[in-house]
């Protein structure tokens, strides 16, 4: 999927992101119900693939997002990082493990507990950082190349094969994702069959490659604008991968998943880092500027906590 470009606190960048999202989405008619791509916009249901029927889970409610019958990730979600490219000496390798290691149990991730499967079992507020590995090679990766990076990490034994996990391929600034990084998205999530199992994975690009498109602000509260921008993209992809892992569970009629509905919104912010940066939440000992997420309750709304 994913992702629609992560929000920016500056009007010019917000305008660019909105333009990119519109270019991807508005060519489709308003009366056609769409399904998600994982990249922040909806698409028509492919020929021969029927739409999933609505779930009989109760209560359904009318919260601006609909359950379409697919699975969600239950219990503790494990998160694995694959550092792809040249990350030598980059503080991201400390900042981003800290981020995902502290997001579980937070008021922010608790928003995802408002989502459930067809048996009315809800997503839990539990995330575990399962570790990381490194990889390198090409400076131009395709969507298929991202899946290959994940498959290689698993088949080599560098990371475990885990169906209750999301694998994040984090690319350094010199690496491009050729299907639209910096022009159509900053990250995305999807799933694929790897080693005979349904594996959920995500691409997250480094905003240092295109700050005007993918960085939320020119400086970050942790002193690394690229890493601070990636934290918000990771949050976006993680919450969508948990509530819509196979792209057939929770989304609205335009094919927007929960985080898509709140992309580029941050709520109230405060000064952090002493370098002109702002943040909107503290997780562990660090401050972050993280986009809001869609609460599937109370009619539906964007928020930083639930």
Listed by start position, the domains of the chain span: 11-54+61-303
User: Checking DSSP bridges between strand 165-171 and strand 77-84, what pairing results, if any?
Assistant: parallel
Report the predicted TM-score, pTM, of the whole model to 2 decimal places: 0.90
Q: Return the bridge partners of 81, or none.
A: 132, 168
Distance set, CA 115 to CA 42, 74, 148 (Å): 20, 10, 30
- Cα–Cα nearest to 135, from 118, 152, 111: 152
Encode the chain (306 residues) as per-residue pLDDT tens digits.
333 444 444 433 433 343 344 334 334 445 578 999 999 988 887 766 655 556 566 556 689 999 999 999 999 999 999 999 999 999 999 999 999 999 999 999 999 999 999 999 999 999 999 999 999 999 999 999 999 999 999 999 999 999 999 999 999 999 999 999 999 999 999 999 999 999 999 999 999 999 999 998 999 999 999 999 999 999 999 999 999 999 999 999 999 999 999 998 999 999 999 999 999 999 999 999 999 999 999 999 999 999
Q: Are strands 165-171 and 197-204 parallel, antiparallel or unpaired?
A: parallel
Q: What are phi and psi of 233, to 5 degrees?
A: -65, -40
Taking residue 236's Cβ as centre, other Cβ atoms within 10 Å add up to: 33
Please choose, from the candidates 168, 272, 180, the residue with its C-alpha nearest in 3D space to the C-alpha of residue 219. Answer: 272
């Amino acid at each position: 999927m994913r992702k629609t470009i992560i929000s920016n606190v500056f009007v010019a960048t917000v305008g660019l992101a909105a333009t990119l999202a519109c270019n991807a989405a508005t060519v489709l008619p308003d009366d056609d119900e769409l399904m998600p791509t994982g990249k922040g916009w909806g698409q028509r249901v492919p020929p021969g693939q029927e739409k999933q029927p609505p779930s009989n889970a109760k209560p359904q409610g009318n919260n601006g997002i609909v359950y379409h019958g697919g699975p969600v990730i239950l219990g503790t979600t494990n998160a694995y990082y694959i550092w792809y490219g040249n990350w030598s000496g980059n503080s991201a390798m400390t900042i981003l493990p800290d981020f995902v290691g502290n997001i579980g149990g937070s008021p922010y991730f608790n928003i995802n507990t408002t989502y459930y499967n067809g048996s009315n079992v809800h997503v839990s507020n539990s995330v575990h950082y399962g570790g990381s590995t490194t990889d390198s090679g090409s400076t131009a990766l395709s969507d298929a190349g991202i899946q290959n990076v994940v498959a290689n990490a698993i088949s080599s034994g560098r990371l475990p094969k885990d169906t209750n996990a999301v694998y994040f391929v984090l690319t350094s600034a010199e690496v491009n994702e050729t299907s639209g990084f910096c022009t159509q998205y900053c990250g995305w999530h999807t799933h694929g069959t790897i080693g005979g199992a349904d594996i959920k994975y995500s691409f997250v690009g480094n905003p240092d490659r295109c700050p005007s498109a993918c960085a939320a602000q020119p400086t970050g509260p942790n002193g690394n604008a690229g890493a601070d921008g990636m934290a918000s993209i990771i949050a976006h992809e993680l919450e969508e991968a948990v509530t819509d892992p196979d792209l057939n569970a929770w989304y609205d009629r335009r094919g927007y998943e929960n985080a898509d509905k709140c992309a580029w919104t941050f709520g109230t912010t405060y000064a952090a880092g002493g370098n002109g940066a702002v943040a909107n939440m503290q997780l562990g000992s660090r401050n972050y500027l993280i986009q809001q997420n869609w609460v599937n309750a109370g009619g539906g709304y964007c928020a930083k906590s639930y």
